[in-house]
């Protein structure tokens, strides 16, 4: 299979590429910012997803069998400051990517998010109505709908949630902080692994529960989806939801760290002030059974994912 991946320098995309190459897929990856820090064994093609002509050119040039479209802007402040640019990249760019896929007969897997939900609805599944509470979620929902409504396009939406793992494109990209506690698991892991205290933000401005998902695990689900013929929405999340404090404790256990290094802390006032207008889904608990049945396996639960991650961590950092 010839696979085209966007967002290949990202946490998700770098894991997709790594697994795809291990499985012998030919890979083309769009490249936006700096090149990966290590030599790569796949083709890179420079592409800004706000440049719609360039998207079409790139897809027509490479004629992939499938596209995994994982690129996104995840900086919420940037999203609110530069709405036009973000909409052009996240919504219009995704639609243009879908049109280009249709033109070359490629299957399109669009990576979306559990943040299409408001986190107030209890347990949600693939058919639950979305109700985004921030601009990011709105853009994801609109892009999902655009693609699934496109006549003649072979398309699947893969929603992800609470991703943690190793970024295999660049060591300098291992930890991200967008100021809203987005990269929560990764933050806790790096603190505890270094023997440092780890604050767990609490209060109204946090994603208090979610289905944490190991990036390499969801990469397998995304590759299954790329080779599948199912249309519609798939929940490629970890198969268990958990609260932030409990997740931090489980991370401590798997890293043989002292649980007392973990302490709850009200989200700092400065963050609350600055991000007051940005809605955060509170408790995103999602069911994954329908997706597991379609793709032939469920994703890791919390302990399975963390145990697998510990092995990846040890292999990577030595
Ligand atoms: N991380 C999570 O917890 C989470 C949860 C739910 C869903 N998701 C979804 O999963 C996908 C991957 O997320 P991630 O965590 O891997 O994000 P990430 O690490 O921030 O990677 C984002 C990728 O998008 C690329 N990108 C940004 N702007 C671009 C542009 N204008 N044109 C082309 N590429 C651009 C980035 O390139 P550069 O590196 O060159 O800037 C990077 O490769 C996204 O669609 C996200 O919405 C993530």
- Domain residues for 90? 2-161+215-240+286-300
Question: Does residue 122 lie within any of the structural domains?
Answer: yes
d(CA 301, CA 315): 21
d(CA 73, CA 27): 22
CA of 69 to the centre of ligand 1 (A): 9
Question: Does residue 145 lie within any of the structural domains?
Answer: yes
pTM of the predicted model as reported, rounded to 2 decimal places:
0.96
pLDDT of residue 272: 82
Question: Does residue 58 lie within any of the structural domains?
Answer: yes
Region for residue 93 given its phi and psi (left: phi exceeds 0; alpha: psi -120 to 50; beta: otherwise): alpha
Question: Does residue 41 lie within any of the structural domains?
Answer: yes
13 Cβ inside 6 Å of ligand 1: yes
CA of 73 to the centre of ligand 1 (A): 6
pLDDT in tens, the chain (318 residues): 999 999 999 999 999 999 999 999 999 999 998 888 888 999 999 999 999 999 999 999 999 999 999 999 998 889 999 999 999 999 999 999 999 999 999 999 999 999 999 999 989 999 999 999 999 999 999 999 999 999 999 999 999 999 999 999 877 666 655 555 557 888 888 889 889 999 998 887 889 999 999 999 999 999 999 999 999 999 999 999 999 999 999 999 999 999 999 999 998 888 888 777 889 999 999 999 999 999 999 999 999 999 999 999 999 887
Question: Does residue 317 lie within any of the structural domains?
Answer: no
Question: Does residue 176 lie within any of the structural domains?
Answer: no
CA of 128 to the centre of ligand 1 (A): 25
Question: Does residue 178 lie within any of the structural domains?
Answer: no
212 Cβ inside 6 Å of ligand 1: no
> Taking the chain, what is the end-to-end CA distance rounded to the nearest angstrom?
33
Nearest CA to ligand 1 atom 5: 161
49 Cβ inside 6 Å of ligand 1: yes
- In the chain, the number of structural domains is 1
pLDDT of residue 44: 96
* Residue to mutate (ligand 1; options 70, 141, 247; most atoms within 8 A of CB): 70
pLDDT of residue 180: 55
Question: Does residue 157 lie within any of the structural domains?
Answer: yes
Q: What CATH number does the domain containing 130 carry?
A: 3.40.50.720
User: Which atom number of ligand 1 is nearest to the Cα of residue 11?
Assistant: 16
């Amino acid at each position: 299979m010839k696979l085209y991946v966007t967002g290949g320098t990202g946490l998700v995309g770098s894991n997709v590429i790594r697994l795809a190459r291990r499985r012998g897929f030919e890979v083309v990856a769009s490249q936006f910012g700096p090149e990966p820090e290590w030599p790569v064994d796949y083709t890179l093609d420079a592409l800004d997803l706000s440049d719609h002509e360039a998207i079409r050119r790139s897809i027509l040039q490479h004629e992939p069998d499938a596209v995994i479209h994982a690129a996104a802007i995840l900086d919420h402040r940037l999203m609110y400051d530069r709405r036009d640019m973000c909409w052009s990249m996240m919504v219009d760019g995704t639609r243009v990517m879908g049109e280009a896929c249709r033109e070359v007969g490629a299957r399109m897997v669009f990576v979306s998010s559990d943040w299409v939900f408001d986190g107030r609805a209890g347990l949600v599944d693939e058919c639950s109505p979305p109700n985004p509470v921030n601009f990011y979620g709105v853009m994801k929902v609109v892009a999902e709908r655009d693609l699934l409504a496109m006549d003649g396009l072979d398309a699947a939406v893969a929603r992800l949630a609470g991703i943690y793992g190793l970024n295999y494109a660049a060591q300098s990209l291992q930890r991200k902080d967008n100021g809203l506690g987005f990269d929560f698991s990764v933050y806790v892991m790096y603190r505890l692994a270094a023997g440092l205290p780890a604050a767990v933000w609490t209060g109204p401005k946090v994603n208090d529960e979610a289905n944490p998902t190991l990036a390499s695990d969801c990469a397998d689900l995304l590759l299954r989806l790329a080779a599948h013929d199912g249309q519609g929405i798939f929940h490629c999340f970890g198969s268990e939801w958990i609260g932030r404090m409990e997740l931090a404790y489980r991370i401590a256990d798997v890293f043989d760290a002292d649980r007392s290094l973990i302490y709850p802390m009200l989200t700092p006032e400065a963050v609350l002030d600055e991000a007051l207008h940005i809605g955060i889904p509170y408790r995103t608990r999602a069911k994954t059974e329908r997706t597991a049945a379609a793709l032939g396996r469920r994703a890791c639960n919390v302990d399975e994912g963390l145990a697998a991650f510990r092995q990846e961590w040890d292999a990577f950092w030595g």
